[in-house]
Amino acid sequence: MGETSALVLFSGGQDSTTCLAWALDRFDRVETVGFDYRQRNRVELDARPRVRAALAAAFPRWAGKLGDDHVLDLAALAAVSESAMTRDVAIAARADGLPNTFVPGRNLLFLIFAAALAYRRGIARLATGVCETDFSGYPDCRDDAIKALQVALNLGMATRLVIETPLMWIDKAATWRLARDLGGEKLVDLIREETHTCYEGDRAHRHDWGYGCGHCPACALRAAGYGAFRAAG
Amino acid sequence: MGETSALVLFSGGQDSTTCLAWALDRFDRVETVGFDYRQRNRVELDARPRVRAALAAAFPRWAGKLGDDHVLDLAALAAVSESAMTRDVAIAARADGLPNTFVPGRNLLFLIFAAALAYRRGIARLATGVCETDFSGYPDCRDDAIKALQVALNLGMATRLVIETPLMWIDKAATWRLARDLGGEKLVDLIREETHTCYEGDRAHRHDWGYGCGHCPACALRAAGYGAFRAAG
């Protein structure tokens, strides 16, 4: 398909922004895709165009590579989430520590939609910031699940698509380090200022690692990773 | 999960109706799921409640087993379909003989949504009427793709779900025979009268095998299968 290109699953958070920078560093043309699944708050979706614009403004060498952005409406995900759970499943889900609205296999869905879009756009690489190191309780972020899905996708679409997972085996401190390797302190600052990770959608509280409530699991992970990154120098 | 239950991917066509009858014959509780992806015509979606009601009315032994019906809104599929194709991909797609609006991997998407729904409903079996015998140009109906997807789903959802494909290896004549085995001539008549297969959404023309334009590939396949079924006696 001529130039090397990639489609990045891009949520506007720290991980997918680092993944986007990784792809911009590596490929000639990079498109992004996001999913509107009626997120609890819109802060995450709002971050997407802001982060893209900031990347293009701060890194002229990447600006020309940054292609179209796609946002797909996944209202059906909310519908599945709202479907009543049986008592057995509800108890099993609580034992997992996951919320009762959890839709299992969500990342598989995102990847299949992204693969269909990539096919139509003539793009042969997907890149996603999933990671099994900071165990999140989401089995569809694990390496086995992603690799099995690549096989299913390529059989089911009669194509050759590769799912790239540059963050799979690194922890949050190493993710900050990867950002610095790719774009220096300028990229670290951009990620701190512009990306959004907090589950609560909090943009009112500012910390050295960015904005957020500071208490939710996502904030705790981001803060600890940033602390370890700075401590290592 | 107590009783044995299944979730059937049900479009209102001949194959998925036969698959639904197969599941009703085999399991204690059967739910159905359909997808609204802005089909070219609504005839297919309209057939779904009509076929379910006809099955319950004609077969009292099945009526008590027939559980909830779910329709998920997949507008995103139309959005992917409408996304511009690159020239390379457009040419490749035409060589496949598939329309330019074709979204590859559509059945994989349906199955992942169904799996997520089944998980939440405490159902461990999916049943789908996909078939690789009457080759349709859709690689995501093939046995390899379905089995690879089962592995990806179970890894990604940390569950044990089985995808049943009772029609995988039989042709259309054998699908009519399976219907007769399951529900006699009464079920064959119900499928002829109530199910919809025609690509053109034609319900104006009546044939011995059902309603349809009689010319599109779906009508041609259905008609030939019915002819071979009756010829074999």
Distance of CA A208 to the CA centre of its chain: 22
A124 in reach of chain B (CB within 8 A): no
Contacts of A27 (CB under 8 A, 6+ apart): A4, A5, A6, A65, A125
Which band of pLDDT confidence, cut at 50, 70 and 90, is reported for residue B217? confident
Note whether A116 contacts B109, CB cutoff 8 Å.
yes
Query: Which pLDDT score, from 0 to 100, does residue A188 have?
Result: 98
**Residue A176 main-chain phi, psi, to 5 deg:** -60, -40
Residue range B196-205, pLDDT digits in tens = 988 888 999 9
What is the SS3 assignment for B125? Answer: strand
State the DSSP H helix or E strand holding residue B182, giving kind and residue range, or none if neither. helix B172-194
User: Pick from B73, B122, B153: which is nearest to A105 by CB?
Assistant: B153
> How many residues in chain B?
233
> Percent of chain B scored above 90 by pLDDT?
72
- B2 has a pLDDT exceeding 50: no
Note whether B139 contacts A155, CB cutoff 8 Å.
yes
- B137 has a pLDDT exceeding 70: no
Which band of pLDDT confidence, cut at 50, 70 and 90, is reported for residue A79? confident
**Residue B122 main-chain phi, psi, to 5 deg:** 70, 30
Task: Report whether B59 contacts B183 (CB < 8 A).
Answer: yes
Q: Could you tell me which of B165, B191, B169 has the C-alpha nearest to residue B19?
A: B165
**B231 domain residue, yes or no:** no
Note whether A83 contacts B121, CB cutoff 8 Å.
yes
- A181 has a pLDDT exceeding 50: yes
A208 in reach of chain B (CB within 8 A): no
- Cα distances (Å, whole numbers) of residue B17 to A6, B70, B178, B182, B192: 40, 15, 11, 12, 11
DSSP result, A156-209: HHTS--EEE-TTTT--HHHHHHHHHHHHHHHHHHHHHHH----TT---S-EETT
Paired with B162 in beta bridges are: B125
Contacts of A31 (CB under 8 A, 6+ apart): A5, A6, A7, A8, A67, A68, A69, A70, A121, A123
- A100 has a pLDDT exceeding 80: no
B99 burial (CB, 10 Å; 0-12 / 13-18 / 19+) is exposed
CA distance A153 to B145: 7
Q: Per DSSP, which regions of A37-178 are E strands?
A: 66-73, 125-127, 162-164
Mean per-residue pLDDT of chain B: 91
Q: Could you tell me which of B149, B142, B141 has the C-alpha nearest to residue B107?
A: B141
Task: Report whether B155 contacts B130 (CB < 8 A).
Answer: no
Task: Report whether B81 contacts A77 (CB < 8 A).
Answer: no
**A78 domain residue, yes or no:** yes
Which band of pLDDT confidence, cut at 50, 70 and 90, is reported for residue A98? low
Query: Which pLDDT score, from 0 to 100, does residue B99 have?
Result: 65
- B1 has a pLDDT exceeding 60: no
B1 in reach of chain A (CB within 8 A): yes
Whether the CA torsion B195, B199, B205, B206 is positive or negative: it is negative
List the domain range (segments joined by +) for residue B32. Answer: 5-197
CA distance A32 to A24: 11
CA distance A223 to A100: 26
State the DSSP H helix or E strand holding residue A110, giving kind and residue range, or none if neither. helix A106-121
Note whether A83 contacts B151, CB cutoff 8 Å.
no
Query: Which pLDDT score, from 0 to 100, does residue A75 have?
Result: 85
**B79 domain residue, yes or no:** yes
Query: Which pLDDT score, from 0 to 100, does residue B96 have?
Result: 65
Q: What is the ipTM of this complex?
A: 0.89
Q: Could you tell me which of A122, A88, A127, A92 has the C-alpha nearest to residue A110?
A: A127
What is the SS3 assignment for A103? Answer: coil
- A93 has a pLDDT exceeding 50: yes
Q: Which residue has the tokens 């802005």?
A: B38
**64-123 in chain B: CB under 8 A from chain A:** 70, 72-77, 79-81, 83-86, 88-89, 103-109, 112-113, 115-117, 119-122
Query: Which pLDDT score, from 0 to 100, does residue A96 have?
Result: 65
What CATH number does residue B55 fall under? 3.40.50.620
Residue range B41-86, pLDDT digits in tens = 788 889 999 999 999 999 999 999 999 999 999 888 888 887 777 7
Note whether A116 contacts B103, CB cutoff 8 Å.
yes
**B225 domain residue, yes or no:** no
**A223 domain residue, yes or no:** no
- Cα distances (Å, whole numbers) of residue A73 to A33, B37, B78, B168: 11, 12, 10, 32
Most A-contacting residue of B126, B155, B161 (CB-CB within 10 A), to test interface: B155
**B18 domain residue, yes or no:** yes
Q: What is the mean pLDDT of residues A162-187?
A: 97
**B228 domain residue, yes or no:** no
Q: Could you tell me which of A9, A39, A34, A37 has the C-alpha nearest to residue A22?
A: A9
Name the residue in chain A with its Cα closest to that of B69.
A83
**More confident of the two residues B137 and B180:** B180
- A2 has a pLDDT exceeding 50: no
Note whether A70 contacts B83, CB cutoff 8 Å.
yes
> Percent of chain A scored above 70 by pLDDT?
91
**More confident of the two residues B30 and B91:** B30
Task: Report whether A69 contacts A43 (CB < 8 A).
Answer: no
**A206 domain residue, yes or no:** no
Number of domains composing chain B? 1
Query: Which pLDDT score, from 0 to 100, does residue B133 have?
Result: 81
User: Pick from A80, A117, A148: which is nearest to B155 by CB?
Assistant: A148
- B195 has a pLDDT exceeding 90: yes
pTM: 0.92
Residue range B74-121, pLDDT digits in tens = 888 888 887 777 767 776 666 666 666 778 888 999 999 999 999 999
Name the residue in chain A with its Cα closest to that of B77.
A113
Note whether A72 contacts B86, CB cutoff 8 Å.
no
Query: Which pLDDT score, from 0 to 100, does residue B145 have?
Result: 96
Query: Which pLDDT score, from 0 to 100, does residue B19 have?
Result: 98
